[in-house]
Amino acid sequence: MFARPTRRLPLAAAALLALGGALTTGAWAGRGEATEPHRPGRITPVPAAAGATTALSGYVIQSAAKVTDSAAAVSSPGYPARNWYPAGPRSTVLAALLANGVYADPFRSTHQRQIPRADFEVPWWYRSDFAVEDTTRRTFLDFSGVVSAADVYVNGRLVAPASRVTGAYTRHELDITSAVRPGTNTVAFRVRPNDPNRDLTMGWLDWLQPPPDRNMGLVRDVLVRRGGPVALRDAHVVTRLAVPSLATAELTVRALVRNDTGSAVTTEVTGSAAGTRFARTVTLGAHESKTLSFSPADVPGLRLTRPRVWWPAGMGKQPLYDLDLTATVAGRPSDTAHETFGIRDVRAPLNSDGDRQYRVNGRALLIKGGGWSPDEFLRWDRAYTEDRLKYALDLGLNTLRLEGHLEPDEFFDLADRYGVLALPGWECCDKWEGDVNPNGSGEPWSATDHAVAKASMAAEAARLRDHPSMLSFLIGSDAAPDATIERSYLDALEAADWPVPVVPAASDTSSPRLGDSGMKMTGPYDWVPPGYWYAKQEGGATGFNSETSAGPSIPTLDTLRRMMTPAELDTLWKDPEARQYHRSPSLTFGTLKIYDEALAGRYGAPTSLADYVRKAQLAQYETVRAQFEAYRRNATDAERPATGVVHWMFNSGWPSLHWQLTDRYLDQNGAYFGAKKANEPLHVQFSYDDRSVVVVNNRTAAARGLTARATLFDPDGTRRYDESAAGVTVDGGGARATALTLPASVDGESRTHLLRLVLTDAHGKEVSRNVYWLSTRPDTLDWDDTTWYYTPTTEYADLTGLASMARVPVSATAVTRASEGVSTTTVTLRRHGRGTAPALLTDVDMVGAEGKPVLPVRWSDNQVSLWPGESVTLTATYRTADLRGSAPRVRVSGWNTPPTTVPAS
């Protein structure tokens, strides 16, 4: 998670995979949705077809402290399970209790503090029934995602003790054929409490207030698999793409064929990959396993010409291929396997500065990423996840980093589909780094822990390897593994045919076999001014920064009123020293003091909650924009270029006051639109370090005949400087061109200025616009007193002149068109009326009933600035159902624009 090892506190909550079953009504995604909990008495029907894989539909759960019956009784069909709680198929204990209304909304105020932790310091029973009619087939339980360990029973029999079923990421296949009977069968898990400092699971560290149950439960599907005498396992495709020509690709199909009987068996394995068919007959001795391999050497069709290559979003399309296998015995199907895969090539050598430079399909790629968080209670919602992935693309991001919290298969399926690269890895500072991070809170490893860690690596490598969205795996976060741990990880990855680079850590460290990480973790994690990002030191725009941001991200007023009480909101803007429950459990990040002092020092002390929030949006817009702009500009530097940046974080697992580009309810603040502006494909930007105006082109083709115009104004609209540069040409693929440089000073007494940059194409059409608020007094950084989490500012830029801007009207007209469940609202804004002052950072929201925002929504642009006589047309796209039957309306507000709401029917 973080840069300097002294920052961690032993405040953690175990977690695994954003997968829970039941959702908290009114607190989930802002849509009021709830996944239907499992109803007592529901039985999951399991078909007998060879290769059938059926997820248990849900459970009933109860604390072991309240269950006096024997394990044999609890796990037997017909057990009454009175007063147990229904739970979804993927659910922590607390997620189920929340869905059943046991506790108040934990996202509101400090309600979560009222949930007693003692209730989760004992095991909990999970019980489910499934029906099998044909017992001639073999039956297996296949699962991972047990947090933290469990005894497993089937029909009154212990089939696996917790000593075997431990570790959130380990995968287990239990042969329960002898225990299964025709009709109703029962599986029961006695799940043990979780402690991320003692268990190889997952923790929350300083991200948010940890859940009281520490996410104990079953957070991935438990599958019932059926098959015949021969099983197919570990099916996958190894791809080798010709780079840089991309003219050919070689496919190698591998699968384990296993005889589950006590007699010799002959099986025929047939299959197809990318449309090419193949077959082989294999004889297996009793309980023998063999790995089959099909390659172009024996199946020429597995050498593809003109393959459909998978690209990250913005670089090309995302085609996928299918692998299908069938094993037959005596003419009858025994088992099947299916995988989806993509063809691409990922490499990440260290450049001459020792920094990791990613190349995808032979093309260099600046990683523009964000840190991903699951829901705090690990509740899985596919639609909500898809909405967030679409937001990532809307922001121009190409990568999401998953530090632990490795999501379910559907997440990576969506990432494949949308072209979002995934950077998964183990997390810092708790048990995962217990042997290598002396400043962490994790306990040292035992021999059992080493075995669990290797099994976890093997299981996740096998699960993730066929996803073309995989960018790398980070086998360490703040600390790299030692030689013993590294060897076990690498052996597991090699055995799984892991296809993309393995990185020893997210920090600037090394491991014995892999060498240097090529990454840095120098922060910051708290507020720094926009100019910070241009300095080539600490977290500035050089190399690959695996996690960094200017810290706090104050949500919109809509979200703040949803998550905090009026009294808490009053404290929020009045008392910088106050502990903020919705920031972090960490002592370092418990208050907003650093942020609030900068806000007051640069913009003036807030006079109300609304004034505090509007100043926060300006501050977040400029710092996030500068972070991405600096890394984009420096990506093509000859000396110490920037190669990657991961904004910490992309989203939050609960309503938060920091580390987010989009909030828990999918509302969008200044940080969101600052990132969106910075990452637009063809972009004109200002450099805080040398005052240059630069054009960056992330499109594939070069852009020619551009004109860049820079105009500097006083806050009242008085023009102080106006210069244009015509005939600007900039190559594609992230290249840049310097159009002009602003003077060191201009006439006039104002210490605050507005800079308007406009980029037009050869036909005079505006293709990029960017507005900055600048000061003649720069922010002064105290580099010598830099800590692991920020660099202090000793003197602030004077932006108080913005407070004197005249209030100016902005008119809005809007019209909405709906088709196939999607609405598109077109909004035209115009700065009209007298005076010369512009309308700064004009924000537009879609609202429905009672003025509540319609979310999620994707805007073509937002938080725009308009000078007198200027107009702009924006579009908003959203689900029609999210209007909840009300007529669409548009709410307009801004830094110096009176709020107004107009119809948008």
- List the catalytic residues: 478, 547
Q: Burial, 197: exposed, middle or buried (Cβ in 10 Å; 0-12, 13-18, 19+)? A: middle
* Residue closest to 237 by CA, chosen among 141, 307, 333, 316: 307
Give the separation between CA 876 and CA 862, rounded to whole angstroms. 10
Beta-strand relationship, 543-548 and 642-647: parallel
**What residue type is 130 in one-letter code?**
F
* Residue closest to 371 by CA, chosen among 598, 647, 597: 647
Give the separation between CA 680 and CA 842, rounded to whole angstroms. 19
- Residues forming a β-bridge with 516: 510
In the sheet where 543-548 sits, what is the strand order? 502-503, 473-474, 421-425, 399-403, 367-371, 642-647, 543-548
* Residue closest to 311 by CA, chosen among 255, 365, 384: 365
- Could you tell me which residues come within 8 angstroms of residue 850 by beta carbon, excluding any fewer than 6 positions away? none
Give the separation between CA 59 and CA 306, rounded to whole angstroms. 49
The count of residues in the chain is 905
* Joined tokens for residue 683: 């972009």
Give the separation between CA 194 and CA 198, rounded to whole angstroms. 8
Give the separation between CA 442 and CA 10, rounded to whole angstroms. 8
Q: Burial, 127: exposed, middle or buried (Cβ in 10 Å; 0-12, 13-18, 19+)? A: buried
In this structure, the number of other CB atoms found within 10 A of the CB of residue 298 comes to 10
Give the separation between CA 277 and CA 789, rounded to whole angstroms. 56
- For 567, the enclosing helix (H) or strand (E) is helix 566-574
- Residues forming a β-bridge with 341: 321
Quick check: 459 and 170 in contact, CB under 8 A?
yes
- Residues forming a β-bridge with 866: 839
* Residue closest to 284 by CA, chosen among 304, 311, 257: 257
Beta-strand relationship, 53-55 and 138-143: unpaired
In this structure, the number of other CB atoms found within 10 A of the CB of residue 37 comes to 22
Give the separation between CA 350 and CA 458, rounded to whole angstroms. 26
- Positive or negative, the Cα torsion across 564, 567, 570, 575? negative
In this structure, the number of other CB atoms found within 10 A of the CB of residue 852 comes to 14
* Residue closest to 472 by CA, chosen among 542, 554, 544: 544
Give the separation between CA 218 and CA 149, rounded to whole angstroms. 9
How many CA atoms within 13 Å lie on the side-chain side of 93? 34
- For 728, the enclosing helix (H) or strand (E) is strand 719-730
Task: Supply the angle between the helices 609-634 and 670-678 in degrees, to the nearest 10.
Answer: 20
DSSP string, 328-376: EETTEEEEEEEEEE----EE--B-TTS-B--EETTEE--EEEEE----T
Write b or e for each residue in 591-621: b if 16 or more Cβ atoms lie within 10 A of its Cβ, otherwise e: bbebbbebbbbbbbebeebeebbbbbbbbbb
